[in-house]
Amino acid sequence: MALVNEYFLRLSNNYLFADIAKKVKAFQISHPKQRVISLGIGDVTQPLCPAVIEAMHKAVDEMAVKATFRGYGPERGYDFLREAIVKNDFLPRGIHLDPNEIFINDGAKSDTGNIQELVRWDNSVGVTDPIYPVYIDSNVMIGRAGKMENGKWSNVTYFPCTAENNFVPSLPDQRVDMIYLCYPNNPTGTVLSKDELRKWVNYAIRNDAIIFYDAAYEAYIQEDDIPHSIYEIKGARKVAIEFHSYSKTAGFTGVRCGYTVVPKELTAVTLSGERVELNHLWDRRQCTKFNGTSYISQRAAEAIYTPEGKKQIKETIDYYMGNAKIMHDELTRMGFKVYGGVNAPYLWVKTPNNVPSWKFFEQLLYGTAVVCTPGVGFGPSGEGYFRLTAFGDRDDCKEAMRRIAGWVSM
Ligand SMILES: *Cc1c(COP(=O)(O)O)cnc(C)c1O
């Protein structure tokens, strides 16, 4: 008899976006003439840029010829891409990485979910709240998160991020071994300054903790003095693993490619006190469970580091950030309290009169046929907020703002 991993049964059955889709479908059936505009799910809408398309075509042609055909690639990723990453994403910021500290992945979701395998099941976990659900759920699956009690996992420390603390989480007052940070943040769209991030790095150094730093939205940072990488902070190489993704940077949500940085200086300890390099363990893990990202995807990623590629992906990011600005300005004018949207493609908005997130979601849907994401879906501190994404079309974005303006003035 095979016994099931019962920790999986502790996960909530419903996936946030499936719940939303069901409610939107019910609305559509009862309102067939209304066109729904979704500012909900965090997926990009603009096509891949020409430099990427050209590189992919070329890679496909190479695969068609015996002399240039490629089979299994190196598990860590091809040198051409890891070298381009070191040279373009880190060197200009004064960060010197060895290409062997870079692991190409098939997107950041896999690695942010898998990375917790490197440490024992009985470490304590801390997360900012609200949060991208992958970090907690991957810990639930192996039994590290404990039980769900009153909307929170019993073995997880939550660092609330709300308007009251200006979305700057406070350091924990109890020991936490593993800390997940995501900046620019999904869902709140807020950022940490270098000084604020430095406090977390110093906490991790003092407490021998590890920070898992998700930088998936790094390319959206517009303001100076906002760190693009945690390694801009002194000492971070000893305590942090960083995740990058081309999904939001270059529209790769359907192509699948990103990378994870595991510095050689980063160690964790055995019960007998011996220090072990996590770079080596992650390499060992990847060689066993991962067979690499496709050659075509890696050539596509390499192309965004060419001068044309850089220019083209910036145009698309500017387009999305133009949407964010329109929404930020319009909603503020209508009297909403709006956060984020300046260094990230997400706006985090307070519901009027503290209406609960799901209730506001329904009111907005039935009042305007616009879909938002209820904040509470990202954690208890998200209650009373909703998220809008800037990844849509400009015209839809403007139309949604017109509808909401008409609705709130009624
Ligand atoms: C979209 C997103 C990612 C990237 O996921 P991929 O698997 O690379 O597509 C990672 N982290 C966060 C917080 C995200 O929102």
Please tell me the predicted confidence (pLDDT) of residue 185. 98
Structure tokens belonging to residue 235: 């000492």
The answer to whether the CB of 247 is under 6 A from ligand 1 is yes
* Residues 200-222 pLDDT 10s: 999 999 999 999 999 999 999 99
* Three-state secondary-structure class, residue 35: coil
Closest Cα to atom 2 of ligand 1: 216
pLDDT at 151 exceeding the cut of 90: no
Q: Count the Cβ atoms, other than its own, within 10 Å of residue 329.
A: 13
pLDDT grade for 15, boundaries at 50, 70 and 90: confident
Please tell me the predicted confidence (pLDDT) of residue 12. 80
Cβ atoms 369, 403 nearer than 8 A: yes
pLDDT at 410 exceeding the cut of 90: no
pLDDT grade for 301, boundaries at 50, 70 and 90: very high
Closest Cα to atom 4 of ligand 1: 108
Burial 238-260 (b: 16+ CB within 10 A, else e): ebbbbbbbbbbbbbbbebbbbbb
pLDDT at 171 exceeding the cut of 80: yes
pLDDT at 346 exceeding the cut of 80: yes
* Three-state secondary-structure class, residue 227: coil
* Three-state secondary-structure class, residue 135: helix
pLDDT at 182 exceeding the cut of 80: yes
H/E segment holding residue 107: none
The answer to whether the CB of 404 is under 6 A from ligand 1 is no
The answer to whether the CB of 42 is under 6 A from ligand 1 is yes
Using alpha carbons only, what angle is made at residue 180 by residues 140 and 219, rounded to the nearest 5 degrees? Answer: 125
Percent of the chain with pLDDT over 90: 96
* CA nearest neighbour of 176 among 230, 123, 239: 123
| Residue 108 CA, closest ligand 1 atom number | 8
* Residues 77-130 pLDDT 10s: 999 999 999 999 999 999 999 999 999 999 999 999 999 999 999 999 999 999
**How close is the Cα of 216 to the center of ligand 1, in Å?**
6
* Residues 235-284 pLDDT 10s: 999 999 999 999 999 999 999 999 999 999 999 999 999 999 999 999 99
Q: What is the DSSP annotation of 143-186?
A: T-S--EETTEETTEEEEE--GGGTT-PPPPSS--SEEEEESS-T
Cβ atoms 323, 346 nearer than 8 A: no
pLDDT grade for 362, boundaries at 50, 70 and 90: very high
Please tell me the predicted confidence (pLDDT) of residue 41. 79
Quick one: average pLDDT of 340-368?
Answer: 98
Computed over every residue of the chain, the mean pLDDT equals 97
Please tell me the predicted confidence (pLDDT) of residue 336. 98
The answer to whether the CB of 260 is under 6 A from ligand 1 is no
Size of the chain in residues: 410
